[in-house]
Amino acid sequence: MNKRKALTKTAAAAMACCMLGSTAFSGAGISTVRAEGEGDAQWNEIQSIVSRYYGEWNDTNYSGAISDHIPDTALLGNGDVGITSAGSGNEKSFYISKGDFWTYEGTPLTIGKVRIGAREQVVEEETGNLAPSYKTVTVSSKDISPDFKPEDAVSGKAEQNSNGYGWVSSIPAWGDQDSNDYWIQLEFENPITIGRWAAKWDGYVRPGQEQNNPKSFTLQISDTGEEWQDADQVEDNTESVTDRNLEAAVTAKYVRLHIPYPEQNDGDYARARVGQFELYTEPKEAAAETSDNLAFHKPVKVCSSFTDQGVLYPGENIVDGKDSTKWCSLHDDESTHWAIIDLEAVQNISYYTLVHSGIVGETQHNTVDYQLQYLDSAEEEWETIETLDNSLWKDMDAVTGNTATVTGKESSQCKVYPSVYYKSCAGK
């Protein structure tokens, strides 16, 4: 065997020892290997020694992978070019750098990174949401903050975060976003069939920010990504969550959520905010709305309804059964605020529950003083119910000094028209 061949095999053996040194060889000595020698017999002997040892890196945190000195993690290299192993339990990253790791002189120069891992997929059989299986995602513009990534808005993982979440666009005032032309677009490897779609807006991500919910938007499809066809359209929206079945299923390779009016009040500083965009093949079955709540979706009259930055908080919200909505009256310290619910029949009331604005994150607006009242007569007309003399209403409960978000009491009264008199805004 020539000298060059012996040197090559010896270097390879030394490298193998370096790779295992941080695990299997910790505290163990290694005898010197001569470059010249007895040929393949010596090489075989080295292999037999090294093969007795087995090293396995089983810590997936890799906390020491990024370092100005020699990385404290799995390491491959010859002292000049180093490859640091990092990543997590689901992926593997190899950081390639150049520097003298062995003498610790100077900071390693980063060359690049190779990442190996399976792309995260949302399994259709489990969730039905097709959006996370996209091939590419593009948007009309991006906010300057790197925290609001378009990919998050189609990850299948809706997140409520006071700082915001999902895709946030730029604004027309900065010149990189056209007015009334905000959009997020998905391309799929193969055409998908859509029977239902959903979106969670900023009012869902950040309860209390309903003014940032888009006023109008359109679901569009395309076979080329150039010419778009409307599949569904929503106008005058104020809701924080949109979940809609299509009249007929559509099939397309490209899907776009186009948002001409991204906030309740349009302008050069309006942004589109999409917390989550979801696509489903199967339509959502209409669930029968059943509830033991006697007030559920019953007719309501209120003293007034407040509109804040284009968002209306109507009396109907008191009886919609949702914890994400509220009724709010106009601010007036001189008047008694009231809401009247028509139960449409004489009912036996065993208990009541009143949920205040703290349920949407506004504990400072929880109702402080209120009376829950009822009429024991079925003769009054609903059209003029608010004009009745106050003396005809009987108290079921009276509360003062409340700070709680949820209040209630057991009762055995009968009533036709319950009425709650408020001195502050409340939920339901």
Cα(408)–Cα(62) distance, rounded to whole angstroms? 53
Angle (CA) 183 187 193, round 5°? 100
pLDDT in tens, the chain (428 residues): 433 333 333 333 333 333 333 223 233 333 444 444 556 788 888 877 877 766 666 665 565 666 656 666 666 666 677 777 776 655 677 777 776 555 555 556 666 666 666 544 433 334 699 999 999 999 999 999 989 999 999 999 988 888 899 999 999 999 999 999 999 999 999 999 999 999 999 999 998 899 999 999 999 999 999 999 999 999 999 999 999 999 999 999 999 999 999 999 888 899 999 999 999 999 988 766 667 888 888 899 998 888 887 788 888 989 888 887 888 888 776 678 889 998 888 878 878 888 888 887 788 888 889 888 888 777 788 889 888 888 888 888 889 999 998 888 775 444 445 555 433 344 55
Q: Hey, which residues does 308 pair with through a beta bridge?
A: 311
Q: Hey, which residues does 232 pair with through a beta bridge?
A: 219
Long-range contacts of 316-319 (CB under 8 A, 24+ apart): 317/427, 317/428, 318/426, 318/427, 318/428, 319/293, 319/295, 319/428
Distances (CA, A) of 19 to 25, 92, 94, 179, 375: 9, 17, 14, 57, 84
Cβ atoms of residues 197 and 279 within 8 Å? yes
Cβ atoms of residues 185 and 137 within 8 Å? yes
**Looking at residue 44, what DSSP letter applies?**
H
Cβ atoms of residues 119 and 134 within 8 Å? no
Cα(327)–Cα(323) distance, rounded to whole angstroms? 11
The helix (H) or strand (E) run that includes residue 142 is none
